[in-house]
Structure 1
Amino acid sequence: MPQTREAPLYSTLSPTDVRSVIIGLMLAILLGALDQTIVSVSLPMMAADLQGVDLLAWVVSGYLIAVAVATPIYGKLGDLYGRRVMLSSAIIIFLLTSIASAMAPSMPFLVGARILQGLGGGGLISVAQAIIADVVAPRDRGRYQGYISAAFAVASVTGPVAGGLLTTYLSWRWVFWINLPLGLVALLSSRRALALLPVPNVKRPIDFLGAVLLIVGLATLLIGITRVGQGAAWLDPLNSKLFGVTLAALLAFYWQERRAEEPIVPLRMFSNRTVNVSCAILFIAFIEVVSLSVLIPLRLQMLTKAGADGSALQLVPLSLAIPSGAYIGGRLMTHLGRYKHLQMFGALLVPVAVLGLAFLPPDAALPTMVCMAITGLGIGLQLPTSTVAVQNAVEHRYVGIATAVSAFCRSLGAAMGIAVLMALLLAALQADAPASAAGFSGAEIIKVLIGDAQVHVDAMIKAQLAGSAVEAFRKIFSVAAGIGFVAFVLSTLVRDEALGERTPVERPRPAH
């Protein structure tokens, strides 16, 4: 059933007020996004210091899973109790767990601290993005979403560099200590700026059971997917149990949300086609982002003499083009007052460019970088247009949870995309292997071609494996291009709605 939409009230924040709020939000988002990248370079030193190589992957995965799980919860609580208090609480949780991470005496303690830190990080990002819808008119939101994308870009570029410098010259613990001054500035700046926002003055019931079921369902799903990405079989005994719990919890969550007075995720929101399609487009966009970020360097290191530094260099066009595309898309959306055709154009660029990657030789550095830049531009165009489309399609009182659901779809796409495509790559490497290497698994073939000292094969066999690996990567990039084309087909289904030019503020409603 379509939603009925109230006539909204409107905000009267001045441009100076809006600018103050946006600066506070960018600091908060930079804090949360930076911690997704700054840790990566420090992982070997953490493992050596804390004697826990077997848990190393969970230092990153635990954080990302917690971010994804926390996102919809924070979105709904922001709708109920106001964004200012929820953003402040997220920053405080983030800072306290940063201290715990910096002082970790063992690897299990560090993983636990990182999971709790992810709960704060999820709030930082989801609440901050929802606040934009509180202070900016729909027509202008794209421009400001572009600024937010720039904060993510700064984090992705500076995070590994900062992490490397801190680890080399101080200690890996400083990648967490550095959060304290940054977080305090973000906390003070955002609280001062967000004092301008209205606070809901009605009390509504909290759907605690729905929140617990959602957390259990999402956590088990993401843990299972993450294990697949780390080499486990999709339906090994532990994953079978995890996915069984996921199914049971999400079915129970659906039942609970249908009967709850104030559901955590209002299901009627999904009766809106624009919400469904735009969330699916964001899901696919992040399948492409994360998959290419892993597959391009892997192909280079397996099939050329490029090391980790050289292969990382080919990701620079993607990293720079995504925020550039988001900024351009946001500005054009503000100018045109519509989003559909920008969304469609971005969704078309991606499969075309990724298909180009499939048929380029691994050592064709310049054409590869051009295709990566076009892919990043296409993804960037989809980010603000899809986020604004979701916000524009729901009642203002659901903006927080709608924004959070779209952010969760991005996280889920990132997790599922790399798990699925890496599993397909391992299968393709094994299937395409020459008869002389028929007993090799996909993982062993990767080790051989990267030059793992523990795996010794004849030079001729290695050359044959390289030839078969070229074909395997061609198949995987073709699959990725096909997935990208699905986003283009979906974008044609989005309604071409005009964006309003005034900023809505939720109309007070009586308590139940």
Structure 2
Amino acid sequence: MTHREVLRALSGLLMGMFVSILAGTVVSTSLPLIIADLGGSQSSYTWVVTATMLAMAVSTPVWGKLADIFNRKLLIQLALTIFVLGSAAAGFSHSTDFLIGARVVQGLGAGGLAALSQIILADIISPRERGRYAGLFGAVMAVGSVGGPLLGGVITDAIGWRWNFFVAMPVAIAALIMLQLTLHLPKHDRPKPKIDYLGAVFITAGISMLLIWVSLVDHNFAWASVETAWMVGGSVLLLVLAVVTELRVANPLVPMTMFRNRTFTLTVIASLAVGVLMFGTAVFLAQYMQLARGATPTESGLLTIPMMVGLFTASTVFGQVITRTGRWKPVMVTGAVTAIVGSVMLGRLDGDSPMWFVSLAMLVLGAGLGMLMQNLVLVVQNSIAVENLGVATSAVTFFRTIGGTAGVSVLGSVLALQVKDRIAEGLATLDPEQQAQAAQALGGGTVPKIADLPPSIASVVEHAYGSAIGHVFLLTVPLALVALIAIALLPKQDLGTLTAVQARAQAEEVAADMAGIEGPQKTEERRVDDDEASPATMRS
């Protein structure tokens, strides 16, 4: 494909990605207000975010497997439709429970969009050339990530938060049309459709039960309790059954043989850590701006721009560097170190931190994530056999989302406990009349509206959230170190020059020639391990 043809094919794909990012970020600045209006608690706030990521995580491997056996264009249109329907339902929420349910539907669609966009990208662009187009994806991510919170803040302040969930629908309809008109993927022989339903059930149930336990423990029941025993034990049992199933079935949802590939295994570890950094930071920064600094939703959107600027700039510049030089590892190691520095800086936040320091910390962390996110997928796609492209790509997205989901759940639980203790300490310094007012305003355990609180109580709440969120950010530093170690251990490998479509066609030709010339027995003797001898030209 020529550069012009690639851009035409990417237009609908980029628009679909923009819709998913916009619909996810447009509510971020208004979420504290939404939870307050619906009478939700800090636990509800965490679960509104976690529900989407959980649904996204457990559905991603399924979408990836479907991509290997069904029409990818049809699948991404279906995922976009599901996502938009979930967004529309969220706009009619009358309780936090209904909102969480709608966000689950959103997550099911988001899982497809996240996995399929990367899979289709590999179909039409080779790994070596992919950095050239990273700027386009970075631009879409930056505009959606920066414009979403800002637009959401303006909409919330002007006409109400419910319209945040409806704003993406016209763009989604346009994206569906563009995908139909511009995305034309060549046909190729696909395996007979076989879906590992049992494995999907075990994986979904095991991960879901574990994350639900994380969000409930120490709030609804104690760590050492009967509930903890059966939930953790049940989760472990289900995940063991999932592994056994994946090892035994003919067409596994997540082939365990991929973990023999050192690059794949290390990338999965790094993706878990990056997921916590990416999702956790985005979730709690909105709370920091509004609950610790008294910003409005619009101001909150403006204040988070530095992080997206860092992400966009780094992904664009270093994507071009990788395309020109073919050297990806120095970029990723630098990104991991930068992310560590950004996490440490955010860990120093409190309610009185200078805004220039907050902005610089977000800029640094964003730059680190920009050097890591797309390149983790690129490295896996470059190292894995083309027949496993869909499941390998979705697996990286799956583990990144799992990391983010678990991270948000755990960090949200820590935040709730920290805020509760620090508010109690702050209120103890007030006079009895103010303490009575505080008990009436904060006694229900819901996320407060800072603007509605008396100044003395508002000051206590802001200080509690500021110092507690800084503590939460500090907990992400060890995970950033894990990402650095995993990336440093990645084996160096040249980037392939063929698209997935070309590699697949070449693999089919080689297989046909070997079968015809050497016979079945010789062909079997020449089979080698995926990790040790899959040539670069056979990789996406």
Given the two structures, how large is their TM-score scaled by the length of structure 1? 0.81
Q: Which residue of 1 aligns with 2:495?
A: 499
* Residues 402 and 316 (structure 1), Cα distance of their counterparts in 2 relative to 1, 3 Å cut: same
Corresponding residue for 1:483? Answer: 479
The counterpart of 2:377, out of the listed 370, 387, 392, is 387
- Mean alpha-carbon deviation: is it higher for 174-183 or for 408-417? 174-183
Deviation of 1:112 (Å): 3.2
Which of these residues, 174, 181, 184, is aligned with residue 173 of structure 2?
184
The equivalences for 1:95-134 within 5 A come to 95-101=84-90, 108-134=97-123
1:419-454: CA deviation from partner (whole Å, max 9, x where unpaired): 33444556667599979969x9xx999999x79848
2:224 and 2:316 map into 1 onto residues whose CA distance is 41
Which residue, 206, 217, 220 being the options, matches 2:195? 206
Separation in structure 1 between the aligned mates of residue 239 and residue 327 of structure 2, nearest angstrom: 35
Q: Which amino acid in the other structure matches residue 355 of structure 2?
A: A
More divergent stretch after superposition (119-128 vs 237-246): 237-246
1:28 to 6, 10, 16: 16
**Pair 1:286-2:275 in alignment:** yes
CA distance in 1, matches of 2:298, 2:160: 22
1:353 & 1:47 partners in 2: Cα distance?
29
Q: Residue 98 and residue 190 in structure 1: after superposition, are their counterparts in 2 closer, same or farther (change >3 A)?
A: same
Q: Distance in 2 between matches of 1:436 and 1:333?
A: 54
Taking every aligned residue pair, what percent have the same amino acid on both sides? Answer: 30
- Contact (CA 8 Å) 1:146, 1:384: kept in 2 or not? no
> Number of paired residues?
490
| Deviation at residue 138 of structure 1 after TM alignment | 1.0
Corresponding position of 2:338: 349
**Per-residue displacement from partner, 1:210-256 (whole Å, max 9, x unpaired)?**
12212222222333344469998666765654433322221111010
Deviation at 1:168, TM superposition (A): 5.6
Q: AA paired with 1:72?
A: P
Tell me: CA distance 1:418–1:63, structure 2 relative to 1, closer, same or farther (3 Å).
closer
Distance 1:280 1:454, change over 3 A: farther
Q: Residues 303, 446 of structure 1: CA spacing in aligned structure 2 closer, same or farther, 3 A cutoff?
A: farther
One-letter amino acid matched to 1:73: V
* Deviation per residue, 1:249-270 (Å, 9 max, x gap): 2111101000110101011111
Helix, strand or coil at the partner of 1:284? helix
Q: Which amino acid aligns with 2:116?
A: V
Task: Check the 8 A contact 1:447/1:455 in 2, yes or no.
Answer: no
Opposite residue 240 of structure 2, the aligned amino acid is: L
Note if contact 1:226-1:415 (Cα within 8 Å) is conserved in structure 2: no
Question: Equivalent residue for 1:416?
Answer: 406
1:56-95 matches, within 5 Å, as: 57=45, 58-95=47-84
CA distances 1:141-179 after superposition (whole Å, capped 9, x unpaired): 233344223322222222233334555655655444444
Pair 1:140 & 2:129 matched? yes
Amino acid at match of 2:272: F
Summarize the alignment of residues 166-181 of structure 1 with structure 2, pairs less than 5 Å apart: 166=155, 172-181=161-170
The change in CA–CA distance for 1:404 and 1:203 in structure 2 (over 3 A counts) is same
- State the alpha-carbon separation in 2 of the partners of residues 467 and 31 from structure 1: 35
Give the distance between the partners of 1:48 and 1:451, measured in 2 at CA: 12
SS at match of 2:491: coil
**Is 2:251 aligned against 1:262?**
yes
CA distance in 1, matches of 2:260, 2:481: 24
Distance 1:480 1:221 in 2: 20
- Aligned residues: CA RMSD: 4.1
Q: Which amino acid aligns with 1:291?
A: G
Secondary structure of 2:275's counterpart equals: helix
Correspondence for 1:10 = none
Task: Look up the equivalent residue of 2:395 and give its one-letter code.
Answer: V
> CA separation in 2, counterparts of 1:172 and 1:159?
13
Q: 1:493 corresponds to which letter in structure 2?
A: L
Question: Is there any run of 5+ residues in structure 2 with no aligned partner, and where?
Answer: 430-434, 436-441, 513-540
What SS is found at the alignment partner of 1:35? helix
Distance 2:178 2:240 in 1: 41
Task: Return the match for 2:363 from 365, 373, 376.
Answer: 373
Residues 1:336 and 2:325 are matched in the alignment = yes
| Aligned-residue offset at 1:344 | 0.6
**TM-score (normalizing by structure 2):** 0.77
Which deviates the most, 258-267 or 79-88? 79-88
The one-letter amino acid paired with 1:206 is: I
- Partners of 1:373 and 1:119 lie apart in 2 by 30
Any idea what the Cα deviations from partners look like across 1:111-152, whole Å, max 9, x if unmatched? 434322321221122111111111111112233344223322
Q: State the one-letter code of the partner of 1:403.
A: T
